[in-house]
Homo-oligomer: A and B are copies of this chain.
Amino acid sequence: MIESLVYRSGSVESYDDLGEAKAAQGTTWVHATEVTADERSHIAETFDLHPLAIEDVNSNVRAKTEEFPEFVFALLKTARLTRGDTTFEEEIVDDPVGVFFGSDWVVSMSPGTASMVGRVKNAVQAGDERLLERGPDFTAYRIVDVIVDSYFDLLDTLEDQIESIEEDVIESTEIDVLDEINSVRRELLSFRKLLWPAREALGVLARGDLKLVQESSEKYFRDVYDHVVQLVDLTETYRDLVSGARDIYLNSLSQSTNEVMKVLTVVATIFIPLTFIAGIYGMNFETMPELGWRYGYFAVWMVMLAIGIGMIWFFRQREYI
């Protein structure tokens, strides 16, 4: 779906024809979502976009910023969590969003819905003066800004999952917890791989080398850049939380095995020698003087009690019980 807006200070108009929109005075913004091959070619022809850049919007390459003679091309990725069809239940799905901007036009284009960009469109239609008067690079900034803002939401979801894991590892040694841990670890890894190129791409926009980015807009791109750096930091922190939770989980298992062994050892070590003694006096030898002693049975009980108490004292000393 293609939408075209042309705006300048105090005025916003909607156009159906791309050529007219481009020719109209003011900033022309063409926003294409769930874009088809035909729509892509149509826009590319109108704004003279390079076929390789158009192709990148439709494929699975990393975020980047490239300078062309007549325009700047920034490719970013939207990210959302989804129940996938692989062995693991949840994963991060990303959609590319291409943002092209020239001297008086912006083109944004995605094979997905890029729903958060709608917020910028609404602001333009609502007549937000900063958008109307500051030109195409500021509109481009707002688009990448809403995309990066949506990353924070995704990371909040992951943070909740990590908190739930941190509670689980203390209570349970079920292997499900390890699955959850691995799932979050993978999502954080995917997210990190998405953030690093985005960081680079925004660095190029913020650095001030691009002649199509006004000096007053650079500070704004720098601000989004700082947010991405902060996201990278958060991701690293969460990776460490997950890694710590995994350590606790694995340790709980070792501790559990240790506890189980202690129970067995205490019980078996106390009763096996006692059973042996009982076995002795269960033998059927004709000549076993103790069997005839008056207090023989009582004495055996005493010996057994002494051994049992000695064993318990020994295990208490070793802190087995």
The interface of chain A, by Cβ under 8 A from chain B, is 50, 52, 55-56, 60-62, 64, 86-88, 163, 166-167, 170, 173, 175, 178-179, 182, 185-186, 189-190, 193, 219-220, 222-223, 226-227, 229-230, 233, 236-237, 240-241, 244, 246-248, 250-265, 267-269, 271-276, 278-288, 290-292, 294, 296-297, 300, 318, 320
Contact = CB atoms under 8 A, between A and B. Distances in A.
Contact of A267 (B62, B173, B269, B300): B269
Nearest to A280: B278
A52 B220 contact: yes
Interface majority SS (helix, strand, loop, mixed), chain A: helix
Given A284-B284, A296-B287, A253 B253 contact: no
Contacts of A286: 291-292, 296
Contacts of A247: 178, 182, 246
| Max chain B C-beta neighbours (<10 A), residue from A166, A170, A284 | A284
Given A193-B233, A253-B258, A272 B275 contact: yes
Contact of A226 (B61, B285, B296): B61
Given A86-B163, A87-B166, A257-B257, A284 B291 contact: yes
Contact of A320 (B64, B260, B273): B260
B297 A285 contact: yes
